[in-house]
Chains A and B, each alone.
Chain A
Amino acid sequence: MSTPNHGPELHGLLAEFDSASQLVAAAHRTHAAGFRKVDAYSPFPIEELAEALGHHHSPVPLLVLGGGLAGAAAGIGLQYFVSVVAYPLNIGGKPLWSWPAFIPVAFETTILFAAFAAVFGMLIVNRLPQPHHPVFNAPRFALASRDRYFLCIEAEDPHFDRERTRQFLLSLSPTEVTEVAP
């Protein structure tokens, strides 16, 4: 890697856009230009945006599948252990392993574990909670949770160059390009 020409005090360059469509178009072009350490910020989910940045498959569904399987195993295992091993008791003449009666609880634990996997998996994959992040330093970034759209090319990107990247961003017709302190 060639040593990029930027000072150490920079997190990246942040371009601000007026509309979601502009942001998506800009993301496409940024990705096509070879930038990989890029993130975009929008006030609502935009399906095309992550795709445009080259993120295709979310790992969350796999985590949920794993959580669900673990939950099913836990529910069945718990009931088997309690009803057959730890406390075998004849209740109403039913067999110790009364599998029809064990369906509801196994179902609930499956859902519970899968839901935990969905929520905590999503948070972990996103590295949240993260109280502070450099982009919050940008003065207008608070509007990203309202009605403005941002694209940030991070200084870590091998193609990053303070001047040339700024010129590139300006060519995407943003309303503004600012430097983000780390």
Chain B
Amino acid sequence: MDRTPLPSLDPAAWSAPPAVHRWRGIALAVGLVAAAACLAGWLLDRDQMLRSWLVAWLLWLGVALGSLSLAMIHHLTGGAWGLVIRRQLEAATRTLPLLALLCLPLLAGLPAIFVWARPEAVAHDHALHHKAAYLNVPFFIGRTVAAFAIFGLLAFLLGRWSRQQDEGGGAASGARMRAASGLGLVLMVLVGTFVSVDWLMSLDPYWYSSLYGVLFLAGHALSALVLAIVVTWLLAGHAPMSTAVTKKHFHDYGKLLLAFVMFWTYLAISQYIIQWQANLPEEAVWFQHRTHGGWQWVALAIVLFHFLFPFLLLLSRSLKQRMPALAGVAMLLLVMRWVDLHWQAAPTFSPDRLALHWLDLAAAVAVGGLWLAWFFHQLAKRPLLPVNDPHIEEALGHG
């Protein structure tokens, strides 16, 4: 009586198609060329290179951390949506070692990025002096190392239990993954908040917003979902995933994407309304810099393309079910994630005038290329579906 026979659940049937290796090659080539350009940039204008690198690194860090969050949310809540993209999410979490490596130039050049890392600036500034207990180089590096250790451990453990599940260790690994995810999400929110303060908010150390951590993490979840959608669309064009991914899965991702876009917008606009309305000097100036001197056009672009267009498009049921269309919206959002980060970071260095350096683009492509190459490499290592998950049949029969 079954409508369509379900695909086989043999792990061997779910190994990555050759296309994944090809994508890895392309990503690596593009990444290396852009990285070479960045190296040239390092020699020409080291400060600019580091500032561009920061935004690029934060974008792809967001994809990795967001993937970790989504994987943990899925372990806790279940649902068909997560099983089909779980391997993409897990592969993304295994890029954390690469991201730690790509962070080294930033750690080496902190004074070029953060005003609080320049002793001569702190010496003459009362506010920075007060904050020096938190914003100082050794503590900052320590926090970053601790954050990577915590996220890395979570990614490692969840990845290992997931592999054990593939090998037949069903129920026990499922329970372990759920338990670790509960605790892991608590850690993600707490540690993620400090990462947001350290790496983005403290660029302007006078400004503060208690919502910032949540907004940062919501952006991560959005970036991660976007990547998962694009990769799932790519995989759906090749056997074996072409037999597993259905319209209905994409409809679910479309709905999730809509929800994430709305949630991110809600947080962003709440923060803006509160600070605009209260109009306190130490807060309002942050938005002042970002809505004048050309930056207002970037802000407008964020309103239009990070919210309005994706929102209106995603309201349509038929768009959500068409994979290429949904993947197109997702790619637009990935670009807008970068624009948003650039809009938050770059006005610190150029508050009066819109600034876009060629290194900004080169760095985004370099980190992105290297990251994607690593990601596809990791993706190919495991079966593309968690075939031994107790809910997998349910998830595939979804179509």
A contact residues vs B (CB 8 Å cutoff): 92-93, 100-101, 103-104
Known pairs A100-B276, A103-B273; list 9 more (Cβ under 8 Å): A92-B279, A93-B279, A100-B272, A100-B273, A100-B277, A101-B273, A101-B276, A101-B277, A104-B273
B contact residues vs A (CB 8 Å cutoff): 269, 272-273, 276-277, 279
Q: Kindly report which residue of chain A lies nearest to residue B273, judged by CB atoms.
A: A100
Contacts of B276 in A (CB 8 A): 100-101
Sample 9 A-B pairs with CB under 8 A, ordered by A number. Answer: A92-B279, A93-B279, A100-B276, A100-B277, A101-B273, A101-B276, A103-B269, A103-B273, A104-B273
Interface centre among A93, A100, A103, A104 (most CB of B within 10 A): A100
Q: What 9 A-B pairs come out closest when comparing CB atoms?
A: A100-B276, A100-B273, A101-B277, A100-B272, A103-B273, A103-B269, A100-B277, A101-B273, A92-B279
Q: Kindly report which residue of chain B lies nearest to residue A107, judged by CB atoms.
A: B269
A1, B276: Cα distance in complex, Å: 70
Contacts of B272 in A (CB 8 A): 100
Nearest CB of B to A71, in Å? 16
Q: Kindly report which residue of chain A lies nearest to residue B272, judged by CB atoms.
A: A100
A103, B276: Cα distance in complex, Å: 12
Nearest CB of B to A97, in Å? 13
Contacts of A93 in B (CB 8 A): 279
Nearest CB of B to A50, in Å? 17
Q: Is chain A's binding surface mostly helix, strand, loop or mixed?
A: helix
Nearest CB of B to A148, in Å? 27
Contacts of B277 in A (CB 8 A): 100-101
A166, B102: Cα distance in complex, Å: 78
Nearest CB of B to A48, in Å? 14
Contacts of A101 in B (CB 8 A): 273, 276-277
Q: Kindly report which residue of chain A lies nearest to residue B277, judged by CB atoms.
A: A101
Contacts of B279 in A (CB 8 A): 92-93
Contacts of B273 in A (CB 8 A): 100-101, 103-104
Nearest CB of B to A5, in Å? 42
A101, B273: Cα distance in complex, Å: 7
A92, B277: Cα distance in complex, Å: 9
Contacts of A92 in B (CB 8 A): 279
A100, B278: Cα distance in complex, Å: 12
A92, B279: Cα distance in complex, Å: 10
Nearest CB of B to A182, in Å? 40
Q: Kindly report which residue of chain B lies nearest to residue A93, judged by CB atoms.
A: B279
A101, B269: Cα distance in complex, Å: 11
Q: Kindly report which residue of chain A lies nearest to residue B278, judged by CB atoms.
A: A92
Contacts of A100 in B (CB 8 A): 272-273, 276-277
A93, B284: Cα distance in complex, Å: 14
A141, B139: Cα distance in complex, Å: 76
A71, B269: Cα distance in complex, Å: 20
A93, B272: Cα distance in complex, Å: 18
Nearest CB of A to B4, in Å? 19
A157, B305: Cα distance in complex, Å: 52
Nearest CB of A to B9, in Å? 30
Q: Kindly report which residue of chain A lies nearest to residue B276, judged by CB atoms.
A: A100
Nearest CB of A to B278, in Å? 10
A104, B269: Cα distance in complex, Å: 10
A104, B270: Cα distance in complex, Å: 10
Nearest CB of A to B194, in Å? 29
Nearest CB of B to A107, in Å? 10
Nearest CB of B to A152, in Å? 31
Nearest CB of A to B48, in Å? 33
A93, B278: Cα distance in complex, Å: 11
Q: Kindly report which residue of chain B lies nearest to residue A65, judged by CB atoms.
A: B315
Q: Kindly report which residue of chain B lies nearest to residue A92, judged by CB atoms.
A: B279
Q: Kindly report which residue of chain B lies nearest to residue A61, judged by CB atoms.
A: B317
Nearest CB of A to B232, in Å? 27
A11, B272: Cα distance in complex, Å: 62
Nearest CB of A to B368, in Å? 34
Contacts of A104 in B (CB 8 A): 273
Nearest CB of B to A28, in Å? 17
Nearest CB of B to A110, in Å? 13
A88, B272: Cα distance in complex, Å: 24
A93, B277: Cα distance in complex, Å: 11
Contacts of A103 in B (CB 8 A): 269, 273
A104, B277: Cα distance in complex, Å: 13
Nearest CB of A to B259, in Å? 17
Nearest CB of A to B52, in Å? 31
A107, B277: Cα distance in complex, Å: 17
Nearest CB of A to B2, in Å? 18
A161, B276: Cα distance in complex, Å: 72
